[in-house]
């Protein structure tokens, strides 16, 4: 069994500043959901080489944090990283082309889903190494601090990385040197096909940050406003020179570990309960109930995003694979 979707309420209650802000957050989450749906279809159709790890259900964490970051702030992602890339301002077309192995992708189609790198948007990249982004983000924070650039970095990682030794080394360094970094754990209850409780010692993951004196907070990762509120405090702390923070965002992946995983290790009732907390539905409801957006405006937004993503898919399908003479590109020696 995994942890229950019931969560302690965060106080004060997160609120939304304006219709514009609400629609911007909704758009960002809907874009990720629509993108992942298309990637799932393309993977099932055999158009994508290798495995893909989709983040549907977890959109609020990426969007909540990245919506507060500046373009020159940095993130490091993990293997479930399409949402992080898009939330940080990544290009939908270049991302899909890379996942599909096409030459217009971020890495000329040679890296795929697990090797996205987007320097222009401060994205240090996705990685197949569990926990691998955490030292990258912390190293970038050290560099930013030494050069007094005022940048903040965020490392996104799953609950599986809670047991990687480098997390503790890096948390220690970040705390002792007061580095401007956010450690953002997306606790979706599973690492591959294993429930977190079966492999993770200690009653609460927060203790891992607290052990180093790092301000640590459990966050409702299905509520983009709750994530934003916690991230805002953490980003201000980092920007003012007061060091790292640790956010443990409780969330759920609607799909399997990878697209195509049968998910027979999941409890059906539990999965249903998490769907009731859907971050997109939740924000849509809030916007409607508070009179900030109409049903029609939200429907129009959904249609616009679906059109945008479908156009990107159509284009990627007719984009060539890397050519033979591309192989020397990006080689320095
Ligand atoms: C260092 C390392 N160990 C093991 C693996 C195999 N592996 C790939 S994903 C994964 C589970 C990761 O779970 P989590 O960090 O919770 O992320 P999630 O998939 O739930 O988003 C494992 C064990 C790996 N890729 N790298
Ligand atoms: Mg996990």
Assign 3-class secondary structure to 223-253.
CHHHHHHHHHHHHHHHHCCCCCEEEEEECCC
Task: Give me the pLDDT at residue 330, please.
Answer: 79
Task: Give me the pLDDT at residue 3, please.
Answer: 45
**Among the listed residues 29, 36, 6, 98, the one whose alpha carbon sits nearest the alpha carbon of residue 309:** 36
Query: In this structure, how many other beta carbons lie within 10 angstroms of the beta carbon of residue 147?
Result: 9
Nearest CA to ligand 1 atom 2: 130
Give all strands (DSSP E) within the chain, no chain letters: 74-76, 153-158, 181-187, 190-191, 194-195, 216-220, 245-250
pTM score, whole prediction: 0.95
**Among the listed residues 171, 166, 243, the one whose alpha carbon sits nearest the alpha carbon of residue 206:** 171
CB of 261 within 6 A of ligand 1: the answer is no
Look at residue 40 and tell me if it is in a domain: yes
Query: In this structure, how many other beta carbons lie within 10 angstroms of the beta carbon of residue 279?
Result: 27
Give the CATH number for residue 255. Answer: 3.40.50.970
Task: Give me the pLDDT at residue 68, please.
Answer: 98
Q: What separation, in Å, do the N-terminal and C-terminal C-alpha atoms of the chain show?
A: 51
Number of domains the chain is built from:
1
Task: Give me the pLDDT at residue 2, please.
Answer: 44
Query: Rounded distance, CA 206 to CA 204, Å?
Result: 5
Look at residue 327 and tell me if it is in a domain: no
CB of 128 within 6 A of ligand 1: the answer is yes
Nearest CA to ligand 1 atom 4: 130
218 CA distance to ligand 1 middle (Å): 21
CB of 160 within 6 A of ligand 1: the answer is yes
Look at residue 262 and tell me if it is in a domain: yes
291 CA distance to ligand 1 middle (Å): 42
**Is residue 295 packed enough to be buried (19+ CB in 10 Å), middle (13-18) or exposed (0-12)?**
exposed
Kindly identify the ligand whose nearest atom is closest to the C-alpha of 164.
Answer: 1
Task: Give me the pLDDT at residue 239, please.
Answer: 97
CB of 80 within 6 A of ligand 1: the answer is yes
Look at residue 325 and tell me if it is in a domain: no
150 CA distance to ligand 2 middle (Å): 31
pLDDT tens by residue, the chain, 333 residues: 444 444 444 445 678 889 999 999 999 999 999 999 999 999 999 999 999 999 999 999 999 999 999 999 999 999 999 999 999 999 999 999 999 999 999 999 999 999 999 999 999 999 999 999 999 999 999 999 999 999 999 999 999 999 999 999 999 999 999 999 999 999 999 999 999 999 999 999 999 999 999 999 999 999 999 999 999 999 999 999 999 999 999 999 999 999 999 999 999 999 999 999 999 999 999 999 999 999 999 999 999 999 999 999 999 999 999 988 888 887 887
Query: In this structure, how many other beta carbons lie within 10 angstroms of the beta carbon of residue 103?
Result: 17
CB of 190 within 6 A of ligand 1: the answer is yes
Nearest CA to ligand 1 atom 21: 158
Give 270-324 pLDDT, tens digit per residue: 999 999 999 999 999 999 999 999 999 999 999 999 999 999 999 999 999 998 8
Question: Could you tell which of 55, 57, 79, 84 is best to mutate to test the pocket of ligand 1, judged by most ligand atoms within 8 Å of the CB?
Answer: 79
Look at residue 6 and tell me if it is in a domain: no
250 CA distance to ligand 2 middle (Å): 10
192 CA distance to ligand 1 middle (Å): 6
158 CA distance to ligand 2 middle (Å): 5
The pairing of strands 190-191 and 194-195 is antiparallel
CA of 191, closest atom in ligand 1: 13
Task: Give me the pLDDT at residue 16, please.
Answer: 85
CB of 191 within 6 A of ligand 1: the answer is yes
CA of 158, closest atom in ligand 1: 15
CB of 323 within 6 A of ligand 1: the answer is no
CB of 77 within 6 A of ligand 1: the answer is no
Q: At what angle do helices 19-44 and 92-99 cross, to 10 degrees?
A: 20
Look at residue 284 and tell me if it is in a domain: yes
Q: Show Cβ contacts of residue 198 under 8 Å, excluding neighbours closer than 6 positions.
A: none
Look at residue 293 and tell me if it is in a domain: yes
Task: Give me the pLDDT at residue 4, please.
Answer: 47
Task: Give me the pLDDT at residue 281, please.
Answer: 98
CB of 189 within 6 A of ligand 1: the answer is no
> What is the sign, positive or negative, of the torsion defined by CA atoms of 136, 137, 140, 146?
negative
Q: What residue numbers bound the domain in which 56 lies?
A: 19-317
CB of 150 within 6 A of ligand 1: the answer is no
Look at residue 332 and tell me if it is in a domain: no
């Amino acid at each position: 069994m995994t942890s229950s979707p019931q969560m302690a309420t965060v106080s004060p209650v997160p609120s939304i500043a304006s219709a514009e802000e609400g629609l911007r957050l909704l758009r960002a989450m809907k874009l990720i959901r629509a993108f992942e749906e298309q990637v799932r279809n393309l993977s099932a159709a055999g158009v994508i080489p290798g495995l893909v790890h989709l983040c549907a259900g977890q959109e609020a964490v990426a969007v909540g944090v990245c919506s507060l970051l500046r373009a020159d702030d940095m993130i490091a992602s993990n293997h479930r990283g399409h949402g992080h890339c898009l939330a940080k301002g990544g290009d939908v077309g270049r991302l899909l082309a890379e996942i599909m192995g096409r030459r217009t992708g971020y890495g000329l189609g040679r890296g795929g889903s697990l090797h996205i790198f987007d320097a222009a948007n401060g994205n240090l990249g996705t990685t197949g190494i569990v926990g691998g982004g955490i030292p990258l983000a912390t190293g970038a924070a050290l560099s930013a601090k030494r050069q007094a650039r005022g940048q903040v970095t965020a490392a996104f990682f799953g609950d599986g990385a809670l047991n990687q030794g480098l997390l503790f080394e890096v948390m220690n360094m970040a705390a002792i040197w007061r580095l401007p970094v956010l450690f953002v754990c997306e606790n979706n209850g599973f690492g591959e096909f294993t429930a977190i409780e079966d492999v993770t010692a200690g009653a609460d993951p927060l203790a891992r940050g607290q052990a180093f004196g790092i301000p640590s907070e459990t966050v409702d990762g299905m509520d983009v406003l709750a994530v934003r509120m916690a991230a805002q405090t953490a980003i201000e702390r980092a920007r003012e020179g007061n060091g790292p923070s640790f956010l443990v965002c409780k969330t759920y992946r609607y799909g399997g570990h990878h697209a195509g995983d049968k998910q027979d290790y999941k409890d059906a009732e539990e999965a249903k309960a998490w769907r009731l907390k859907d971050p997109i539905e939740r924000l849509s409801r809030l916007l409607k109930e508070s009179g900030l957006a109409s049903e029609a405006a939200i429907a129009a937004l959904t249609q616009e995003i679906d059109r945008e993503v479908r156009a990107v898919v159509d284009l990627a399908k007719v984009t060539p694979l890397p050519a033979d003479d591309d192989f020397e590109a990006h080689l320095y020696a």
